[in-house]
Amino acid sequence: MEGALDKLIAEVGRGVTQVEMLVGREALGSWPGATSKLTLWAHLPPAEGKLVHAYMTLGLEAATTASLPLRVKVLLDGASVTREVKPQFTVELDETKYHKAAYDVRPILAKRLGKGWFHRLQFIYDLVQPVYFRDATFILLYEVEGARYAISALTGAKVLEPGEVSVEYPPFYNSFGGARTASLIIHSPYHESKFEVVVAGASSGAIQGLGSFPIRVPFTYRGNLIPVSIKYMKHEYPFYPKRAVITDIVLEEVKLPESRVDIEIVSTELVQDRVKVKVIVKNEGDVTLKRAIVSLVALGGQLAQKKLRALEAGSVAEVELMADISRLPAKPSSAVVTLIGYVLGKRVEVSKEVRL
């Protein structure tokens, strides 16, 4: 085991947090199979409050012989984050090196959040020596009246080999009754690599495969010392490559103003191959519901969908969903109506089953 995870931020305040993780293994460069200009999109719903902090961490993989700093230009919404990546952390993998850097992007995002929900992250690199994009994590903190947050984020890189366990204790604050979530990224080197993440007794379950995995684990433990354990299962036979990377451990606790969103099934009609469901969406909380989508789903497929305008606190909206089920493999006996929307930038979801 080598490398380190170090504190990026640990604070508590009045507002909300938002964490978005992008992962992959896209090749950058001017050699066959690579691209000199890579574009990714980060989903950052605005919380309609003052943006207090905005951090972006960046993970790149390069050959062991690559000279530092890496001459990769990074742009966010067209504005330059850096012209060359100077990593604060570097660890050796089996054949390459993983580099990690962190940036304050509040000056870039402060005027752009709210104009769109997706923000363009670009990488420009045209040298022959290969560089790979591995991850980017956005950590945003908003000052919002009536909401509270606590957050602790560790960035850097720690390497695990099969059979090893890493336990981290990010600094965290006393609970105030909000929802608690832990997030992290695992870069797995082999298709049979297996992992398990346990956060204060709450398990992610088995994680297996080749690639990069953003992991989210809700937990309920209310202490302020939160153990985050990442176990790399040992295999019965050796394999190569074997070194995995753990990065960007983030603990969040957020308590929103009273938010009660519900759906009521008014009526259901099924005539031959057509189904019609009438629904009332209720926002009984104290905060506006935005970008809400009501969907009708059966047999694993989406039959109908309606978008709603912003639903103010205390308001209701009537929705009618109609669908043709003649092309389904079988006639469903039930369906599910699902509402997905955002309250202060946080996703909310409600579902109700209907009999057909």
Q: For position 241, which CATH number holds?
A: 2.60.120.1200
53 lies in the same domain as 138: yes
pLDDT in tens, 74-106: 999 999 999 999 999 999 999 999 999 999 999
279 lies in the same domain as 222: no
251 lies in the same domain as 265: no
pLDDT of residue 158: 98
pLDDT of residue 238: 87
193 lies in the same domain as 308: no
Mean pLDDT across 275-296: 90
| Boundary-marking domain end, from 255, 285, 318 | 255
Give the confidence band of 313 by pLDDT, cuts at 50, 70, 90.
Answer: confident
pLDDT of residue 299: 83
Query: How many Cα atoms sit within 13 Å of 213 on the Cβ side?
Result: 24
pLDDT in tens, 243-264: 999 999 999 999 988 778 999 9
pLDDT of residue 217: 97
pLDDT in tens, 181-235: 999 999 999 999 999 999 999 999 999 999 999 999 999 998 888 999 999 999 8
292 lies in the same domain as 166: no
170 lies in the same domain as 285: no
pLDDT of residue 356: 80
16 lies in the same domain as 41: yes
**pLDDT above 70 covers what percent of the chain?**
100
Domains in the chain: how many in total? 2
Question: 132 or 32: which carries more pLDDT confidence?
Answer: 132
pLDDT in tens, 38-55: 999 999 988 878 999 999
